[in-house]
Amino acid sequence: MVTNPQVRLTVRDYLSIPEDDENRYELIQGELYMAPAPSWPHQDSSFNLASELRGFVHANGLGRVAIAPLDVYLSDEDVFQPDIIYISVERLHIIHFNGIHGAPDLVVEVLSPGTERRDKTLKSARYAMFNVREYWQADPIAKTIAVLRARDGVFERVGVFGEGMTLETPLLPGLRVDVSAVFDYYVPSQ
C-alpha cells in the first residue's frame, strides 16, 4: 500500500499516475495498492484459463473476454485490474476505449502470494457489492478454482474444482473447463 489511509484517492488521482511509472496499481476503496509482477505459474495458468474462456465465448457469440492489465472502473474509488474478465453480449456497453466501466459478468483472479489476501477479502467484497455475477479464485499452487456466485450482494462459494475435475457454471452453459489443463504449466528450474 502506498497511500496515507486518511487520504482517500479517486479515479482522477489514479489517472494522474505518470505513464512512465511501469508498476501496476489498483484503487480499492480510495486506497492505492501496488501489485508486483506475477510469477510464471500465475501467468501460464492465467493464459490457459483465458484461452479456454475466450475460445468458448467467441465460438458461441456470448460476449468478450479480456486479460490484465485492463482497468475495471467500479466506482470513483475502485479501479481493479482482474486477471481475466468476461462481459456478456447484453453488457457490452460497459466496454470503453480506456477500460471497463461497470461490473463484468465474471471476474477471475489468479492468486499470488503477494495479493491473495487482498483478492479473497477486500476485492471479493467489492466485486460482490458492485454486482459481479461470478468470481473465480484460481490458485496455481493448490491447482484449484473456487467458484463464488453473487446472491443478495454477497458471494456464496458454490464449489472448489481441483485437478481431474471439470468446472461448469450456469453463467456460461455448455462451458467445460478441464482444471488439470488450466494448471498444466511449465515448472521452471529454481
Residue 74 to residue 48: CA distance in whole angstroms: 26
Residue 9 to residue 78: CA distance in whole angstroms: 9
- Residue 1 is predicted with a pLDDT of 43
- Residue 190 is predicted with a pLDDT of 66
Average pLDDT, the chain: 92
- Residue 36 is predicted with a pLDDT of 79
SS3 53: helix
- Residue 3 is predicted with a pLDDT of 47
Q: Which ranges of the chain have pLDDT less than 50?
A: 1-3
pLDDT single digits (tens) 129-164: 999 999 999 999 999 999 999 998 899 999 999 999
Taken in order of first residue, the domains within the chain and their CATH numbers are 37-182 (3.90.1570.10)
